[in-house]
């Protein structure tokens, strides 16, 4: 029997997205979103005057260029990437 997806409202930057996730993935998604939004706020403080798309792009570049040892364990990185891929797939379905 396939697991039921549950609806979740997520916020990235200043946008709200409605996605469906597995209950077992909800906590990972929320933690990932916290990391993303915290980093967006950090960049907003450092680089005032940009638009939200710029900040989101900065976060993506920041994450992609982090050394493996500095950004966490391989398991954490894999989990983060898998979560982003799931969010991306859900956004494709919603849009």
Give tens-digit pLDDT for 36-83.
999 999 999 998 888 999 999 999 888 888 775 444 556 666 777 777
Does the predicted TM-score (pTM) go above 0.95? no
pLDDT at 68: 53
pLDDT at 86: 74
Look at residue 92 and tell me whether its pLDDT is greater than 70. no
Rounded Cα gap, residues 3 and 64, in angstroms? 31
Rounded Cα gap, residues 44 and 52, in angstroms? 9
Burial (CB < 10 A; 0-12, 13-18, 19+), residue 59, is: buried
Look at residue 90 and tell me whether its pLDDT is greater than 90. no
Q: What is the DSSP string of the chain?
A: -PPPPEEEEEEETTEEEEEEE-GGGHHHHHHHHHHHHHHHHHHHHHSTT--HHHHHHHHHHHHHTS-HHHH--HHHHHHHHHHHHHHHHHHHHH-
pLDDT at 30: 92
């Amino acid at each position: 029997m396939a697991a039921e997806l549950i609806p979740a409202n997520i916020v990235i930057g200043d946008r709200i997205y409605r996605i469906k996730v597995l209950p077992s993935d909800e906590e990972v998604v929320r933690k990932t979103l916290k990391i993303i939004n915290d980093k967006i706020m950090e960049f907003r403080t450092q680089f005032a005057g940009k638009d939200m798309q710029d900040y989101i792009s900065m976060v993506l570049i920041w994450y992609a260029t982090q050394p493996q040892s500095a950004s966490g364990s391989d398991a954490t990185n894999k989990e983060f990437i898998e979560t982003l891929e799931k969010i991306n797939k859900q956004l494709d379905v919603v849009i």
